Amino acid sequence: MSETEKLNAQIRLLEAKNKQLEMEIKTIACEIIKVYKEVQGIYGYRRIKMNINRNLNTKYNHKRIYRLMKSLNLKSVIRKKRKNYVKSTPQITAENILNRDFSAATTNEKWLTDLTEFKLTNGTKAYLSTIIDLYDNSIVSYVVGHSNNNKLVFDTLDIAVANNPTAKPIFHSGRGYQYTSKNFKAKLDKISATQSMSYVGRCIDNGPIEWFWELLNLKCII
């Protein structure tokens, strides 16, 4: 075989490989769009990768799916929603006693609380209120509801107290209207808890539970 024939053979082989790669990319892209539409856009690239590999019996990695989804301008519609703040005059405020000291020597020494909002696949919203123990970052209690109101927060505290009846923690929160109400302060006084609040606009003052939301949101996406 002459050098020209060898070169032509290599070119034909390269063209065949490029055509095969192009077909493969089109197949993956079509499958991405199919899965994305089926789940109404709620899956991120990791979940879509899992579905594609299962449907096509392949082993594509998440980076490839991510690049293709980016080129197709497809993004997960699930996003952690920041709290809807209800404008009101605080009835009770407290100093930032915790002061970003996120260590604890024993259980029930320091509790952190917060709530967040999630958009569901049916277009409605859900609100999650959680209390965590700084000793080991474990969940003390949580309540899921369809309204961001006092009952959601009060019920979360009631469950935490019922499960830990002797606890007298430093109880740290943001300055949402639920936490600054007189009724909530009365609940804390009843168990001899010490109320602590973040400074206005300082999410880092409640850092561990903010990180908890990020981890939870990541798990929801992937």
Domain count, the chain: 2
pLDDT of residue 124: 85
| 139 and 212, same domain (yes or no) | yes
User: What is the Cα 198 distance to its own chain's centre?
Assistant: 21
| 121 and 60, same domain (yes or no) | no
Asked if the structure places residue 16 within a domain, the reply is yes
State how far the Cα of 167 lies from the Cα of 135, in Å rounded to an integer: 13
Which of 174, 155, 173, 152 lies closest to 110, judged by CA? 173
Asked if the structure places residue 83 within a domain, the reply is no
| 57 and 155, same domain (yes or no) | no
| 202 and 124, same domain (yes or no) | yes
User: What is the Cα 55 distance to its own chain's centre?
Assistant: 27
pLDDT digits (tens, 9 = 90+) for 22-81: 788 888 888 888 888 887 788 888 888 998 888 888 888 888 888 888 878 887 765 555
What six digits make up the tokens of 166? 């002797």
pLDDT of residue 56: 85
The owner of tokens 């830990």 is 164
| 116 and 216, same domain (yes or no) | yes
Asked if the structure places residue 97 within a domain, the reply is no
| 202 and 133, same domain (yes or no) | yes
Percent of the chain at pLDDT exceeding 70: 81
Which of 188, 180, 178, 177 lies closest to 111, judged by CA? 188
Residue 200: which domain range? 110-221
In this model, does residue 119 exceed pLDDT 90? no
In this model, does residue 117 exceed pLDDT 60? yes
Asked if the structure places residue 79 within a domain, the reply is no
The owner of tokens 């935490």 is 160
Asked if the structure places residue 92 within a domain, the reply is no
State how far the Cα of 154 lies from the Cα of 148, in Å rounded to an integer: 11
State how far the Cα of 94 lies from the Cα of 176, in Å rounded to an integer: 12
3-state DSSP assignment of residue 210: helix
What CATH number does the domain containing 181 carry? 3.30.420.10
pLDDT digits (tens, 9 = 90+) for 99-113: 989 899 999 999 999
State how far the Cα of 197 lies from the Cα of 214, in Å rounded to an integer: 21
In this model, does residue 93 exceed pLDDT 60? yes
Indicate the pairing of strand 194-197 with strand 170-173: parallel
> Higher confidence at residue 98 or residue 77?
98
Which of 99, 101, 115 lies closest to 175, judged by CA? 115
Contact 159, 134 (CB under 8 A): no
| 185 and 119, same domain (yes or no) | yes
Domain boundary among 51, 71, 91: 71
Contact 196, 209 (CB under 8 A): no
| 151 and 67, same domain (yes or no) | no
Which of 192, 141, 193 lies closest to 172, judged by CA? 193
